[in-house]
Amino acid sequence: MSDEWHGELLSTLESYRGERETGVLAYGQSQPATARIPAQDDFEAVGHWLAEYAASPQTVRAYRKEAERLMLWLVDKRLGLRDVDRRWLEAYEKFLAAPHPVERWIGPPRPRSHPQWRPFRGPLSAASRRQSLVILQGLFAWLVEAGWVNHNPFRLMRDKRRRMDNRQTHIERYLERPIWDWLWQ
């Protein structure tokens, strides 16, 4: 099952990046000596993580989207999963709020195989950024347990609770008079 996800991630990366940068996939790091999964590179490691959710296609779809965005960003920065530290995580969080350059990252919905496919429809809202980071925090926790990375950069975020909590402090709701009258009938 993980081979399927690995292949899809590679296919997305190849079609997204096109032929502009030969060898760009080399930035997916090879298997560390501590690995407890049979992955050969970062993309395959992410595929193994996605395979854990195979029984839930909606979860796989949501998680794949966030993993794909991260992997594309890492390739663009010439980084691998083991390079992600707090500094890079903060840069990625800012990127989610304003993906740039726009022509490379933002576009209308298209099939992944389309040459004009882009990973974003627009900048992510605070709630969407939170959801993305929660998913990626789970990815890194799994990668640590799998021996693929040696740390989870999310664990170093002192203000993690604030970042991961996008609830408003005060929400005002009310019902108009005709609705109250109807309710009290």
- Quick check: 137 and 63 in contact, CB under 8 A? no
Confidence of residue 99 (pLDDT cuts 50, 70, 90): very high
8 A C-beta contact, residue 104 and residue 46: no
Which range is least confidently modeled, 42-46, 64-68, 148-152? Answer: 42-46
For residue 37, the model assigns a pLDDT of 95
d(C-alpha 60, C-alpha 50), whole Å: 6
Residue with tokens 């021996």: 147
Query: Model pTM?
Result: 0.76
The per-residue pLDDT for 82 is: 93
C-beta separation of 100 from 111 below 8 A: no
* Amino acid at position 155, single letter: R
Q: What is the mean pLDDT of residues 165-173?
A: 55
What mean pLDDT do residues 144-159 have?
89
Q: Residue 120 phi/psi, 5° resolution?
A: -125, 150
Q: Residues 22-47: pLDDT tens digits? A: 333 445 567 888 899 998 888 889 99
| Confidence band of 139 (pLDDT split at 50, 70, 90) | very high
Phi/psi for 30 (5° steps) reads -80, 170
Backbone torsions φ then ψ of 178, nearest 5 degrees: -60, -30
